[in-house]
């Protein structure tokens, strides 16, 4: 059986998952790929660190050139994370005509097109299944089975940390800050959770998904994003009253050649399949013009699930190695439908205001919505005898720009103390 030699960059959480899966399932993987897949070198920072797995000492190196210059290594697997030095290593490995598998969303969202072109010029694969939704095979499904569809809509719960926090707030009526501390203790949130809770991580993933579904190139920082740091348990309770759950969605939809996209906490109807995606789970919901509605659900992070995605890429490359099949992963077409790219487009919205509890205020605010051409779907106002009270509106579909116009008029009233939150609503 032909050997496939792997150089593994990184032996953290995901690297150990990859190592363990290749050992645990080697009989199945080798028979199905008809290759013997072996990790021969591993790049680590500290050669002498104590590790849970026992490795031959000569497998470890702290010098990247021991892998890049080793002509026996067929596939370089990058699981370091972060832009630096991962981007540089991936580029050099491709230039050395080595296939590359990466779990790195930041590198792929930022430099994916350039790296795919380098891979193509060097006639090698660059695969990145693990970069979006961990163990769920979203990249390969979008590139293969579902690619015969034209897509109309994409909605993803692509960040496990925020989904865990929102689920716990919903299920136990807890405050954001308390759940965040708990999530840190349990390993569901990092010590500095800002990239997750502010929607940056989700924007990386949406950028990658947009290229695969709609063939458009939208850099992560061009995606309008709103995090979950302002979501209160009251918002979650109001949403529940209206029959919704709040989820952080990475979403895109096309309408009359406009393509709208954003990352935003969103009220989603309780009977929508995405509303049952809880805690650390991820899911991608799509509407294709042939397949209709489809959803892929699973674990978006973790050593073994993410390792599963990395190993599936290694497996796919191994299967085609030695044949004349072009190993290049197709570079997504460049905006084939000529979409006009629009950040925040139109949506229904949920607006939570804090206002003085006195006659006439409701009328003033409602008039502002009317002046901006926005019609109201539902209102909740609960007078509690306090000086300030919350008012919650759900308004019918309107352009975000018109909503902002109404809100800028509303906030000028001295009776309006605060716009507590503005969230999207999806029926």
Catalytic (active-site) positions:
205
Tokens representing 171?
A: 């299920």
CB of 417 to a second copy, least distance (A): 39
* HSE toward the beta carbon, residue 15, CA cutoff 13 A: 22
Residues 165/180, Cβ–Cβ less than 8 Å: yes
CB of 351 to a second copy, least distance (A): 29
CB of 304 to a second copy, least distance (A): 5
Nearest to a second copy of 29, 43 (CB atom): 29
CB of 370 to a second copy, least distance (A): 37
Between CA 277 and CA 170 the distance in angstroms is 12
User: Nearest 10 degrees: CA dihedral of 146, 149, 151, 152?
Assistant: -130
Nearest to a second copy of 27, 256 (CB atom): 27
CB of 374 to a second copy, least distance (A): 32
Nearest to a second copy of 273, 399 (CB atom): 273
Nearest to a second copy of 60, 317 (CB atom): 317
For the residues of 358-405, what is the DSSP string, one character each?
STTHHHHHHHHHHHTT--EEEEEE---SSSEEEEEEEEEEEEHHHHHH
Task: State the helix-helix crossing angle for 160-172 and 176-186, rounded to 10 degrees.
Answer: 130
Place of tokens 């050099």: 92
Place of tokens 């203790």: 185
Between CA 171 and CA 166 the distance in angstroms is 9
User: DSSP assignment, residue 173?
Assistant: -
Q: Which residues of this chain interact with a second copy, rule CB under 8 A?
A: 17, 21, 24-25, 27-29, 31-32, 129, 135-137, 140-141, 144-150, 271, 273, 276-277, 281, 288-299, 302, 304-305, 307-309, 311-312, 315-316, 319-320, 323-326, 330, 333, 336
CB of 136 to a second copy, least distance (A): 6
Nearest to a second copy of 137, 265 (CB atom): 137
**What's the N-to-C CA distance of the chain in angstroms?**
54
Nearest to a second copy of 266, 303 (CB atom): 303
Between CA 364 and CA 371 the distance in angstroms is 11
């Amino acid at each position: 059986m032909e050997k496939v030699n792997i150089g593994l960059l990184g032996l953290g959480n995901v690297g150990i998952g990859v190592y363990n899966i290749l050992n645990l399932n080697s009989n199945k993987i080798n028979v199905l790929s008809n290759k013997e897949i072996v990790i021969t070198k591993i790049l680590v920072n500290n050669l002498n660190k104590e590790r849970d797995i026992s490795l031959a000492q000569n497998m470890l190196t702290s010098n990247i050139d021991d892998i890049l210059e080793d002509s026996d290594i067929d596939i370089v697997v990058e699981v370091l994370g972060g832009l630096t030095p991962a981007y540089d290593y991936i580029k050099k490995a491709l230039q050395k005509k080595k296939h590359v598998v990466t779990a790195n969303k930041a590198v792929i969202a930022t430099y994916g097109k350039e790296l795919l072109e380098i891979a193509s010029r060097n006639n090698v694969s660059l695969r990145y299944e693990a970069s979006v939704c961990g163990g769920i095979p979203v990249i390969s499904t979008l590139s293969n089975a579902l690619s015969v569809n034209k897509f109309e809509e994409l909605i993803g719960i692509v960040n496990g940390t925020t989904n865990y926090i929102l689920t716990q707030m919903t299920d136990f009526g807890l405050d954001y800050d308390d759940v965040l501390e708990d999530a840190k203790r349990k390993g569901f949130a990092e010590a500095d959770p800002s990239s997750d809770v502010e929607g940056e991580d989700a924007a990386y993933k949406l950028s990658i998904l947009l290229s695969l579904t709609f063939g458009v190139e939208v850099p992560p920082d061009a995606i309008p994003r709103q995090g979950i740091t302002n979501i209160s348990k009251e918002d979650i309770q109001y949403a529940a009253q209206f029959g919704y759950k709040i989820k952080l969605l990475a979403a895109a939809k096309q309408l009359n050649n406009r393509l709208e996209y954003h990352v935003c906490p969103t009220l989603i109807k309780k009977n929508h399949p995405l509303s049952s995606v809880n805690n650390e789970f991820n899911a991608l919901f799509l509407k294709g013009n042939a397949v209709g509605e489809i959803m892929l659900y699973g674990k978006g992070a973790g050593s073994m699930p993410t390792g599963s995605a990395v190993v599936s890429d290694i497996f796919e490359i191994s299967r085609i190695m030695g044949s004349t099949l072009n190993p290049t992963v197709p570079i997504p077409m460049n905006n084939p439908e000529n979409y006009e790219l629009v950040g925040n487009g139109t949506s229904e919205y949920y607006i939570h205001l804090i206002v003085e509890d006195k006659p006439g205020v409701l009328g003033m605010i409602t008039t502002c919505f009317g002046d901006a051409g926005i019609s109201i779907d539902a209102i909740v106002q609960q007078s509690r005898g306090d000086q300030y009270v919350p008012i919650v509106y759900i308004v019918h579909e309107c352009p975000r720009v018109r909503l902002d116009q109404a809100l800028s008029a509303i906030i000028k009233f001295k009776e309006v103390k605060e716009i507590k939150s503005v969230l999207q609503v999806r029926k």
